[in-house]
């Protein structure tokens, strides 16, 4: 779980420490840039050793050399058998003989939270939790106060975390409580368990996509699935080998069992570590299991406006979103809780397509449409290739001050006031099923772009468009070996109509 983000709730003291640490970090960066010959690592590591747990820079995902190298075998893209290049390894991963396909009933979810934060965070969890269907528990630090009682039926059932003071002599046991939660949820419920899923009390999970992904893995083998941080330095400081727990990580049953059994030894052995996810990774590494990074987990280690990131999602099923408390609401003119529920409205219709980016062109007007399914739609006033639009617009800021790039685990585009570069922005408004068994999603303009048209003749402005309607098939898309394509089939007055379809052979999106 995410060590830090979690601790943000623990009060003003921690915030002060956080700010202090940010300042120290900034000083460190300045110094280390100025004195290249001065080995900074000693200072830095001792700094981290003495730092309180909450400095932590928590963290989740996306395209890194590590990810693409590792994910070649076990991800969905290689599971199809239409390729002679499938390795022996991926074949063993994709086929599980004599077992029914994994479904939601095989997952047990452990969420570790705090009583004080639950008052507002329950809205996030209740947006995706399916009462009496999702198995799992919320672990609180103390009994809920009267305001939370009677306990909401839409919430996961709660448990109070074990008291660890008896066997660990440490002033702050928050990280250890989070890690110990793995054992506690396993102890609580492990009948027919195939996968143990751990998350924070503000982690938003996309359960159908998670189940689809887990079907590709053999739950009888040892697997540790998770995501990197978006913020490069979080991975560097903590570990490129860890799954960032706010985004969530998943342990196959044999690994969960081994880790639960080893838990107390593990906590003692790594009592000097402050960060929960790093400790968990260390224990798992000692069992002999390495992280399989998945690009759908999102720690959301960024600040401010995440819309650029969510509008150019990696070509991988969306599994989780974290840090909603740290970001601005993801929909303009909605608060965080309402934004979460709004996003889940789309997810209820079609999880595999959530945030999948589809690009098409309207040649007569030189417009490019980029749809992030269920979330946003952009219109650019020139023809742009998909290769370019796949990079998120850097609407967001770094998780911690980071004076020089690289900041992120992916490339970005900078926001621009150039009318040929800046998109018109539309956000998800409503969704319904049509009588012709299609999904009809409507996106409405966020605000006027306020720039001249891109075309020198001035006649290709998209300013008049206020609404984009997107039709997509109601059929479940099971393979994401290739993105979908689309057609702008009508532009009429203030409305544009786009239809999503499979790309045809040899189609180029450029
Ligand atoms: C995949 O394997 C199945 C069963 O062996 C076979 O029926 C099918 O044609 C194969 N698909 C492709 C695309 O080769
Ligand atoms: C798979 O592994 C077996 C034994 O290790 C080997 O004999 C076989 O040639 C391999 N097949 C492929 C397609 O690499
Ligand atoms: C999930 O799989 C089990 C078999 O392992 C089966 O009994 C159960 O009906 C399935 N549940 C759903 C909702 O499909
Ligand atoms: C869940 O199950 C319990 C006991 O079977 C029942 O009392 C409760 O109403 C159910 N809750 C929901 C939301 O269906
Ligand atoms: C579209 O772009 C082409 C090439 O840049 C240009 O010749 C044409 O005039 C543009 N059309 C409009 C409507 O802007
Ligand atoms: C674009 O223009 C607005 C208003 O003039 C300004 O606030 C903003 O900083 C500009 N953005 C960029 C990326 O130049
Ligand atoms: C815009 O102007 C160009 C050049 O005059 C012309 O070729 C094009 O058809 C016009 N487009 C529209 C949508 O009116």
Q: Which of 304, 269, 325, 265 has its CA nearest to residue 113?
A: 325
Distance 84 CA to ligand 1 centre (A): 12
Give strand pairing partners of 361: 368
| Cβ of 458 below 6 Å from ligand 4 | no
Gap between the Cα atoms of 270 and 290, Å rounded: 18
What range defines the domain where residue 469 resides?
348-502
Residue 331 belongs to a domain: no
Q: Which residues of 226-248 are buried (b: 16+ CB within 10 A; e: fewer)?
A: bbbbbbbbbbebbbbbbbbbbbb
Distance 84 CA to ligand 2 centre (A): 12
Q: Which ligand has the shortest distance to the CA of 415?
A: 6
Instruction: Classify the phi-psi angles of 496: left when phi > 0, otherwise alpha if psi is within -120 to 50, otherwise beta.
Output: beta
Residue 57 belongs to a domain: no
Q: Which of 98, 100, 102, 191 to mutate to test the pocket of ligand 3 (most atoms within 8 A of CB)?
A: 100
Rg of the chain (C-alpha set): 23
Q: Whose CA is nearest to atom 8 of ligand 6?
A: 417
DSSP state of 105: G
Distance 143 CA to ligand 4 centre (A): 22
Gap between the Cα atoms of 267 and 277, Å rounded: 12
* pLDDT of res. 62: 29
Residue 35 belongs to a domain: no
- Dihedral sign for Cα atoms in the order 148, 150, 156, 160: positive
Collapsed DSSP state (helix, strand, coil) of residue 181: helix
* pLDDT of res. 328: 97
Gap between the Cα atoms of 448 and 452, Å rounded: 11
Instruction: Look up residue 429 and give its two tokens.
Output: 């408004």
DSSP state of 79: T
Residue 138 belongs to a domain: no
* pLDDT of res. 494: 97
Gap between the Cα atoms of 265 and 268, Å rounded: 5
Q: Terminus-to-terminus CA distance in the chain, angstroms?
A: 41
Ligand 7: lining residues by beta carbon, under 6 Å: 364-365, 457, 459
Residue 240 belongs to a domain: no
255: number of Cβ within 10 Å: 23
| Cβ of 132 below 6 Å from ligand 4 | yes
Residue 37 belongs to a domain: no
Distance 501 CA to ligand 7 centre (A): 28
Number of domains within the chain? 1
Distance 76 CA to ligand 2 centre (A): 21
Task: Looking at the CA of residue 365, tell me the nearest atom of ligand 7.
Answer: 13
Collapsed DSSP state (helix, strand, coil) of residue 501: strand
* pLDDT of res. 97: 60
107: number of Cβ within 10 Å: 22
* Residue 504 contacts residue 477 (beta carbons within 8 Å): no
Residue 379 belongs to a domain: yes
Low-confidence ranges of the chain (pLDDT < 70): 1-98
Residue 24, classified by CB atoms within 10 Å of its CB into exposed (0-12), middle (13-18) or buried (19+), is middle
* Residue 214 contacts residue 103 (beta carbons within 8 Å): no
Residue 128 CB partners (closer than 8 Å, separation 6+): 204, 205, 206, 207, 344, 347
Instruction: Look up residue 104 and give its two tokens.
Output: 């939601």
| Cβ of 82 below 6 Å from ligand 1 | yes
Q: Which of 126, 131, 132, 157 to mutate to test the pocket of ligand 4 (most atoms within 8 A of CB)?
A: 132
Task: Looking at the CA of residue 81, tell me the nearest atom of ligand 1.
Answer: 1
Q: Whose CA is nearest to atom 14 of ligand 5?
A: 455
Collapsed DSSP state (helix, strand, coil) of residue 52: coil
* pLDDT of res. 95: 52
* pLDDT of res. 284: 98
Residue 65 belongs to a domain: no
* pLDDT of res. 16: 39
Runs of H (alpha helix) within 150-304:
174-188, 207-214, 232-237, 253-269, 276-287
Gap between the Cα atoms of 381 and 383, Å rounded: 7
């Amino acid at each position: 779980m995410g060590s830090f983000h979690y601790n943000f709730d623990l009060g003003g003291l921690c915030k002060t420490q956080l700010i202090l640490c940010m300042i120290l970090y900034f000083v460190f960066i300045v110094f280390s840039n100025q004195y290249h010959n001065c080995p900074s690592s000693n200072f830095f590591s001792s700094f981290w050793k003495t730092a309180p747990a909450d400095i932590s820079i928590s963290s989740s995902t996306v395209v890194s050399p590590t990810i693409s190298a590792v994910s070649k075998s076990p991800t969905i893209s290689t599971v199809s058998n239409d390729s002679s290049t499938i390795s022996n390894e991926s074949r063993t991963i994709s086929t599980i003989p004599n077992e029914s396909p994994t479904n939601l009933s095989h997952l047990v979810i452990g969420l570790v939270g705090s009583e004080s934060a639950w008052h507002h965070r329950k809205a996030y969890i209740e947006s995706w939790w399916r009462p009496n269907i999702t198995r799992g528990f919320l672990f609180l630090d103390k009994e809920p106060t009267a305001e939370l009682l009677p306990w909401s039926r839409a919430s996961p059932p709660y448990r109070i975390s074990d008291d660890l003071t008896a066997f660990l002599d440490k002033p702050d046991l928050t990280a250890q409580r989070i890690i110990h939660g793995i054992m506690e949820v396993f102890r609580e419920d492990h009948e027919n368990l195939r996968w143990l899923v751990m998350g924070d009390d503000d982690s938003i999970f996309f359960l159908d996509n998670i189940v689809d992904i887990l079907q590709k893995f053999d739950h009888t083998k040892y697997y540790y699935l998770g995501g990197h941080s978006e913020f490069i330095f979080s991975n560097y400081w903590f570990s490129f080998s860890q799954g960032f727990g706010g985004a969530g990580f998943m342990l196959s049953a044999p690994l969960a069992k081994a880790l639960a059994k080893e838990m107390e030894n593990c906590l003692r052995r790594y009592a000097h570590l402050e960060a929960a996810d790093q400790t968990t990774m260390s224990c798992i590494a000692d069992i002999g299991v390495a992280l399989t990074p998945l690009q759908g987990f999102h720690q959301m280690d960024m600040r401010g406006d995440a819309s650029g990131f969510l509008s150019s999602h990696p070509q991988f099923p969306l599994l989780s979103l974290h840090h909603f408390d740290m970001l601005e609401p993801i929909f303009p003119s909605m608060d965080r809780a309402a934004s979460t529920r709004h996003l889940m409205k789309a997810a209820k219709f079609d999880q595999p397509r959530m945030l999948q980016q589809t690009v098409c062109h309207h040649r007569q007007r030189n417009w490019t449409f980029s749809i992030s399914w269920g979330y946003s739609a952009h219109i650019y006033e020139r023809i742009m290739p998909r290769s370019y639009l796949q990079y998120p617009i850097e609407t967001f800021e770094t998780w911690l001050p980071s004076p020089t790039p690289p900041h992120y685990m992916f490339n970005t585009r900078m926001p621009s006031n150039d009318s040929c570069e800046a998109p018109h922005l539309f956000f998800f408004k409503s969704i319904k099923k049509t009588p012709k068994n299609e999904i009809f999603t409507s996106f409405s303009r966020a605000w006027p772009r306020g720039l001249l048209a891109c075309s020198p003749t001035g006649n290709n402005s998209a300013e008049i468009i206020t609404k984009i309607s997107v039709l997509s098939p109601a059929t479940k898309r099971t393979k994401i070996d290739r993105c979908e394509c689309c057609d702008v089939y009508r532009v009429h007055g203030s409305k544009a109509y786009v239809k999503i379809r499979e790309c045809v052979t040899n189609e180029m999106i450029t």
